[in-house]
Structures are given as structure tokens and as C-alpha cells.
Amino acid sequence: MKKKKAIAMSFNWIFAIITGVFILFLAIYGASKFIQTSEKTIYTETAASLISLFDPLETGLASGKAYEIGFKKQSKFYFTCDYLSNQPFGKQTIAFSEQTFGEEYGEKGGGVSIKNKYVFTNEIIEGKKLYVFTKPFFMPFKITDIVIVLPDSDTYCFYDSPEEIKENLEGLNLETIHFPNESERCEGINVCFDIGRECDIKVFEEEGYVQKQGTRVFYIGDLIYGAIFSSPDIYECNIKRIKNKFNELGKIYLDKIKIIERKECGAQLGPKLASVIGEIENSRDLIMLYEKIEDIDSINRRAKSGCSLY
């Protein structure tokens, strides 16, 4: 009988231990999954809220706008660009995560789509502050505002930059962009306009391209800022998206020509405009259109009073 009682006790204990361990395991697993999901939800919400902050940066009549966004912890932002989905405009996504324990980052949140903005930045940026500035892009009418996102962890040192670029960037009061003299020392990503220097980013103004990470990306107008501050992949993707937006706007302007013809405004730029609507392969193709675009602009400027198209 004693032996039997001992067996009964040990069975109870074994049973309790096994089920206890099982319940504990389930509880810990459930709690960790719950925390992970909550964290991911918060990160996704943060990314979504961040996109709303880009809207007030629409330039309208301004030549550029800038502001900074601060975060409580060191944060990481993941950007992607895809010109093939959401045709014809393509889309970008932004995902967010922040440091949790020590220097470890939490699992990144869900990617939130950006369909009506053109964000030029690197694929992954990291910092406690983000500097965001916008520049309008004309070709020859306004196509969009290009949004440049810079983290506080990346310092840019501009050498021998033209006065126009220096004035434009200094006017935005961005703490991470410096224009050092020969005597001053600047540690960071070197951007050079003088071909003789050894630099991370070289700008060839006459040829209209920027050399970065062993790749050439071509620019016109204010796209130079996108070419300097974003990764070549995101830049090329956004160029295709911008060209697609140009195509859609071109169609709208072609329709507008038909409307204003009813009001004694015979716009002559229709055929020229129609000829530049089409797809491009890369940024080099975009600058090939530059001459035709100049022609369109000069025709529009010559239009009779009250009849200009844009």
C-alpha cells in the first residue's frame, strides 16, 4: 500500500510538472508573440503617421521647405521603391523600427505604401532625428515635389559647390550639411564638384550626372539633390515614377489644350508635348528629353496673353 501511495504521489507530481511546464511554455510563448505583435503594430503606425508629415511639405509656390522630425530612441527606417506595381505611378514603402534592449533593433514593422510622393533617400537610414526637405521639380511644368530624407547620423561635406546649390541648401538650415573651407575639417560623406578630389560622391555638372557607389545617375534641375542624397537604385526607380507622372500630366495638358481652344486659345505645343510622352529606361533617357522640354517651355512662354497652358 505504501508503495502504491508513493506511485500515486509521483504520478501527480509528474503530471503537474508536465502540464505546468506546458502551460508556462504556452503563456511565455503567447506573451512574447503578443509583445512582438504590439511592437510591430506600433512600428507600422509610426511609419503611417510619418507619411502624413510629408504632406505639409508640398511646396506650392515656395522654392523649398524643410523641417526635422525627432524620435525618442535611435530609429531605423527602411525604404523600398517599385515602379512596376500600382501602375502607372509605382509606389514606395517605408517601414520603421527602433532600438529596444541595448543596441538591438526590434523587428521592423509592416511596410506602409507611399504612392503620391517621391522620396529620395538610402534604402536603410538610422538616426534619432530625420531632416526632410522638398524641392519642386519642373519639366517644364511642375511634375511633383521631390522629398529628400536625411538622418542626423550622416554628415555631408560639400566641396567647391556652386553658389546656387550652396544658397539653396544653406537656406534650409540643415545641421547635417556643411560647406567647409580649405582650412576647415569636415568628417562625413564628401560631395565634390571639383573632379580633382577623392570623394564619396562626385558631381559632374557639365555632363549632368552624379557618380556614387560606382554608378552614374543623370539629373536635370533640382533632381541633383535626389541624385546626391539617395541610393542609385531608389533614384533610378523614382526617375521612372516621375516620368510616368509626367506622362499622365502630359495627357491632362493635351486635354486642356482642346478645352482652351474653345476659348480662342490655340496652343501650338500639343504635338511637341505628345512626342515626349512615353516610357524611359533610365535617368540618362530623361536628360535626352531636355531639349524638347525647353522647346515646349519656350512655345508656352510665347503664347498670347491669358492663353498659356501652365
> Cβ contacts of residue 101 below 8 Å, gap of 6+?
none
Please choose, from the candidates 123, 292, 288, 131, the residue with its C-alpha nearest in 3D space to the C-alpha of residue 220: 288
Q: In angstroms, what is the minimal distance from the CB of 27 to another protein?
A: 7
Q: In angstroms, what is the minimal distance from the CB of 287 to another protein?
A: 20
Q: What is the C-alpha to C-alpha distance for residues 143 and 121, in angstroms, rounded to an integer? A: 19
Q: Judged by CB, which is closer to another protein: 31, or 195?
A: 31
Q: Judged by CB, which is closer to another protein: 55, or 206?
A: 55
Q: In angstroms, what is the minimal distance from the CB of 48 to another protein?
A: 5
Q: Judged by CB, which is closer to another protein: 208, or 250?
A: 250
**Residues of this chain that bind another protein (CB under 8 A):** 4, 8, 11-12, 15-16, 19, 23, 26-27, 30, 34, 37-38, 41, 45, 48-49, 51-52, 55-56, 58-61, 86-89, 115-116, 141-144, 248-249, 251-253, 255-256, 259-260, 263-265, 304-310
Q: Are strands 209-212 and 201-204 parallel, antiparallel or unpaired?
A: antiparallel
Q: In angstroms, what is the minimal distance from the CB of 251 to another protein?
A: 8
The 215-218 sheet, strands edge to edge: 177-178, 156-159, 189-192, 201-204, 209-212, 215-218
Q: What is the C-alpha to C-alpha distance for residues 67 and 82, in angstroms, rounded to an integer? A: 26
Q: In angstroms, what is the minimal distance from the CB of 265 to another protein?
A: 6
Q: What is the C-alpha to C-alpha distance for residues 301 and 281, in angstroms, rounded to an integer? A: 30
Q: Judged by CB, which is closer to another protein: 9, or 195?
A: 9
Q: What is the C-alpha to C-alpha distance for residues 127 and 117, in angstroms, rounded to an integer? A: 22
Q: In angstroms, what is the minimal distance from the CB of 65 to another protein?
A: 11
Instruction: Supply 218's cell numbers.
Output: 543623370
Q: What SS3 class is residue 29?
A: helix
Q: Judged by CB, which is closer to another protein: 117, or 178?
A: 117
Given its phi and psi angles, is residue 60 left (phi above 0), alpha (psi -120 to 50 degrees) or beta? left
Q: Judged by CB, which is closer to another protein: 74, or 308?
A: 308
